[in-house]
Amino acid sequence: MPSNEQRREAAKRKLERQLENRAQRARKRKQLAIAGSVVGVVVVVAIGAIAFTVTRGDDADPATTAAPEAGVMPAGRSEPLPDKVSCTYPPAQTPAAKEVDPPRTEDIDTNVENVSVSMETTQGNVGLTLDNAQSPCTVNSFLSLAGQGYFDNTPCHRLVTEGLKLLQCGDPSGSGTGGPGYGFDNEFPTDQYDPSDPAGQQPVTYPRGTIAMANSGQPGSNGSQFFLVYGDSQLPPQYTSFGTIDETGLETLEKVAAGGDDGSIQAGGGKPNLPIDITSVRMD
């Protein structure tokens, strides 16, 4: 019978093969699109875009009330990322809530724009589309954890229904302080703001259907906890947005939200009165 380590290695190899196959198909499509633009007549139209706390751990409290007005989250990156990027996942100060290997760090392919994932829960399915082109290091970590079964049979420990509208998951301990034993930096939309730009600390709307990372408010404090936004929520753009939730998933979240929370978290929200556990997270 294979050991847990052998199963994790097999899952990682399978995940890497799937991503590489998708990357090869994406590169071919990109090459064909470039070739078509060279032989055709290209008309360029300039379109102007107007660009105007959820936390984890013990280090900071989350925002729990909406600001009077919020700006608009950037529609996308001002410049696309290179075809391949490197990511860093340094060890965290606290041990992993569930033993896993850290993600790979080199040659993370951004040509795969989207990755479809099915998150099965005890309250229904939540379909996710992960935005690899916007936040590749975050997606790389999420898929690595999913492939190793990190999220399997773990509770969504926090529901917020006032000010913010979100469900927070990804901590196997269910305490809100657990992580994978490593951290990493924010990506989109945080990296679209200069660190000295005050706009980076002003609220923007995280739209209904967003999946984003929770953090402690400190650099490099992303880990495994994420939040699912079931209603427009205003937050500073300091939480990495890395995908969207399908309508079936939003119906599941709204069912849980309708049950309310127990108010047990001082910073806002609490455990859902209608418990919801993740049973599995798998690539489609």
185, 172, 176, 206: which is closest to 279 by C-alpha?
172
Exposure b/e, 37-63, CB count within 10 A at least 16 = b: eeeeeeeeeeeeeeeebbbbbeeeebb
Q: What is the mean pLDDT of residues 105-131?
A: 97
- What share of the chain has pLDDT > 90, as a percent? 74
DSSP strand pairing (124-131 vs 241-245):
antiparallel
Task: List the structure tokens of 88.
Answer: 């860093």
Please state whether the peptide bond connecting residue 189 to the residue before it is cis, i.e. omega within 30 degrees of 0. Answer: yes
CA distance 79 to 59: 33
| pLDDT of residue 284 exceeding 50 | yes
pLDDT score, position 267 = 87
Which range of residues forms the domain containing residue 58?
Answer: 4-283
CA distance 274 to 272: 5
- What share of the chain has pLDDT > 70, as a percent? 76
Residue 282 binned pLDDT confidence (cut-offs 50, 70, 90): very high
Task: List the structure tokens of 67.
Answer: 């600001």
229, 235, 187: which is closest to 70 by C-alpha?
235
Within a 13 Å sphere around the CA of 283, how many CA atoms are in the beta-carbon half? 21
Least confident of 27-31, 116-120, 157-161: 27-31
Could you read off the pLDDT of 26-80 as tens digits, one per residue? 544 444 332 333 333 332 222 222 222 466 654 434 444 444 467 999 999 999 9
CATH number reported for the structural domain that contains residue 83 in this entry: 2.40.100.10
Within a 13 Å sphere around the CA of 91, how many CA atoms are in the beta-carbon half? 4
Could you read off the pLDDT of 196-252 as tens digits, one per residue? 999 999 999 999 999 999 999 999 999 999 999 999 999 999 999 999 999 999 999
Number of domains in the chain: 1
Residues 6 or more apart in contact with residue 8 via CB below 8 angstroms: 100, 101, 148, 149
Given a contact cutoff of 8 angstroms between Cβ atoms, the answer to whether 115 and 26 are in contact is: no
